[in-house]
């Protein structure tokens, strides 16, 4: 069933077999013919193989149970166990093998437990598509075709469980981060329009590079790349603040709006490029890495590096245009 889901490969059942176990299956029809019951056979097996307390031995103030059972040579293999004599109500002495099927079978050498419950694990790998999409398709297939008996339940764990937990955290962190950035910018500029164009400029320019890079490299969106977008927004907001603050400073010194916008774009280009390139070039090796263990760091670095490059290319023209749209002669200018 899981093999039919696109992207799912190497489906295996987690099990550990190989522990030899003695299996004794009582033939109820046979014991009924001789007037025996299951308890009689079970009691004999328990006493002969496992041992039973016959009496107690007292040594001074200490007491010890005296356990009686057959000697090792009579209980070390299925043939000898099958030769144990069973006394019937009719006075006969018949071997145990007449009443039971005795054999050595392979049993579980280890029983997996989690949250005080036994579980059986099914493992699979995902190739050629995103993990979340593959697992969600698999969940749909299983829910449609598998009917669980009472007392059984399904739990999809592993990386998918970590992904869903991280996604739930990001759903809270992302709005909180954007709101906090907007609040800090409002505190800095004492108005709404400069924080608004800052956030708008970042949203219109920064994510484009990350999205294009993920699409070109075939990298699915993940928690790692989502965190990369958050980091990208932070650096991009910083470069926007550098430009807006400098333009405000020029205007406070008596420079006209149009000239301040143009001078700010020219004179702040170098520090903006240095701020962005330091982060981009520092993460470039991680973005280009393809070795073992790069599945988590590569999407993060790829988003930041590509996003900063597109941010530089677009914001050079976008931020002056947005500033010109909202600028007014009576603006309260804070740097």
Residue 205: which CATH number?
Answer: 1.20.1640.10
pLDDT at 110: 66
Domain extent, residue 271, equals 159-326
Query: pLDDT tens digit string along 69-79?
Result: 888 888 888 88
With bands split at pLDDT 50, 70 and 90, how would you rate the model's confidence at 311? confident
Integer-rounded Cα radius of gyration of the chain: 37
Give strand pairing partners of 113.
Answer: 118
pLDDT at 108: 62
Same domain, 79 and 132: no
Domain annotation covers residue 304 = yes
Mention every residue, 6+ apart, whose C-beta is less than 8 A from residue 105.
20, 21, 23
Helix (H, G, I), strand (E, B) or coil at 192: coil
Same domain, 258 and 178: yes
Number of domains in the chain: 3
Same domain, 231 and 296: yes
Instruction: Quote the DSSP letter at residue 322.
Output: H
With bands split at pLDDT 50, 70 and 90, how would you rate the model's confidence at 157? confident
Same domain, 177 and 311: yes
Same domain, 265 and 284: yes
Domain annotation covers residue 331 = no
State the Cα–Cα distance between residues 236 and 203, nearest whole angstrom: 9
Same domain, 198 and 100: no
With bands split at pLDDT 50, 70 and 90, how would you rate the model's confidence at 64? confident
Average pLDDT in the 185-191 region? 86
Domain annotation covers residue 332 = no
Same domain, 184 and 283: yes
**Which residue, chain included where needed, has tokens 């004492």?**
190
Give strand pairing partners of 14.
Answer: 121
Same domain, 129 and 248: no
Arithmetic mean of pLDDT over the chain: 84
Query: pLDDT tens digit string along 1-36?
Result: 777 778 787 888 776 666 677 888 999 998 999 889
pTM beyond 0.85, yes or no: no
Domain annotation covers residue 117 = no
Same domain, 238 and 299: yes
User: In the chain, pLDDT over 90 holds for what percent of residues?
Assistant: 4
State the Cα–Cα distance between residues 100 and 83, nearest whole angstrom: 11
Domain annotation covers residue 335 = no
Same domain, 229 and 100: no
Domain annotation covers residue 203 = yes
pLDDT at 50: 84
CA atoms within 13 A on the CB side of 314: 18
Same domain, 147 and 177: no
Same domain, 202 and 293: yes
CA distances from residue 30 to 33, 34, 84, 91, 210 in whole angstroms, order as listed: 5, 7, 16, 16, 75
Check: CB of residue 2 under 8 Å from CB of residue 137: no
Domain annotation covers residue 116 = no
Residue 28: which CATH number?
Answer: 3.30.2090.10
Query: pLDDT tens digit string along 255-297?
Result: 888 999 999 888 888 888 888 888 888 888 888 887 766 777 8
């Amino acid at each position: 069933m899981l093999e039919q889901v696109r992207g799912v490969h190497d489906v295996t059942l987690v099990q550990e077999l190989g522990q030899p176990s003695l299996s004794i299956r009582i033939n109820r029809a046979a014991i009924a013919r001789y007037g025996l019951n299951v308890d009689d056979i079970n009691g004999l097996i328990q006493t002969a193989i496992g041992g039973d307390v016959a009496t107690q031995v007292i040594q001074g103030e200490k007491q010890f149970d005296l356990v009686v059972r057959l000697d090792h040579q009579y209980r070390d293999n299925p043939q000898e166990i099958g030769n144990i004599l069973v006394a019937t109500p009719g006075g006969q002495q018949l071997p145990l093998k007449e009443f039971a099927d005795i054999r050595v079978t392979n049993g579980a050498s280890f029983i997996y437990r989690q949250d005080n419950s036994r579980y059986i694990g099914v493992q699979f790998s995902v190739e050629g598509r995103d993990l979340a999409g593959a697992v969600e398709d698999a969940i749909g297939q299983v829910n449609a075709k598998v009917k669980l008996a009472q007392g059984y339940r399904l739990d999809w764990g592993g990386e998918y469980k970590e992904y869903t937990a991280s996604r739930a955290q990001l759903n809270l962190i992302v709005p909180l981060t954007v709101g906090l950035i907007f609040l800090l910018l409002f505190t800095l500029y004492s108005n709404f329009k400069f924080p608004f164009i800052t956030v708008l400029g970042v949203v219109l320019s920064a994510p484009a590079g990350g999205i294009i890079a993920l699409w070109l490299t075939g990298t699915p969106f993940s928690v790692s790349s989502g965190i990369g977008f958050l980091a990208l927004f932070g650096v991009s907001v910083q470069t926007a603040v550098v430009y807006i603050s400098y333009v405000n400073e020029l205007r406070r010194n008596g420079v006209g709006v149009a000239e301040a916008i143009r001078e700010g774009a020219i004179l702040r280009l170098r520090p903006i490029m240095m701020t962005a390139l330091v982060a981009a070039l520092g993460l470039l090796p991680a973005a280009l890495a393809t070795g073992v263990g790069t599945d988590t760091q590569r999407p993060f670095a790829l988003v930041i590096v590509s996003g900063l490059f597109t941010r530089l290319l677009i914001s050079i023209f976008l931020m002056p245009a947005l500033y010109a749209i909202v600028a007014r002669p009576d603006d309260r200018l804070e740097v």
